[in-house]
Amino acid sequence: MARRVVETVTCDACSKKGLEVTGTVTLTIMDDSYDLCDEHGARFRDQLRAALAPSLDVALSA
């Protein structure tokens, strides 16, 4: 009989709250890797984008 192993990936951020939400996004920063759900993936993307983008003041003064 053939067997198949199914691995479930859960969101690391949701797991800290005791929730089991499917991880759909992987965030990798150097050697660290995090599995995130869509909501947390979007939240971290927006925070990183804001932190790394040039500030509005610098853009207006150019």
pLDDT tens for 4-53 read: 999 999 999 999 999 999 999 999 999 999 999 999 999 999 999 998 88
pLDDT at 59: 55
Quick check: pTM over 0.85?
no
Q: Which amino acid is at 2?
A: A
pLDDT at 54: 78
Phi-psi region of 30 (alpha: psi -120 to 50; beta: other; left: phi over 0): left
pLDDT at 60: 58
**What is the pLDDT confidence band of residue 56, given thresholds at 50, 70 and 90?**
low
Distance, CA of 50 to CA of 7 (rounded, Å): 34
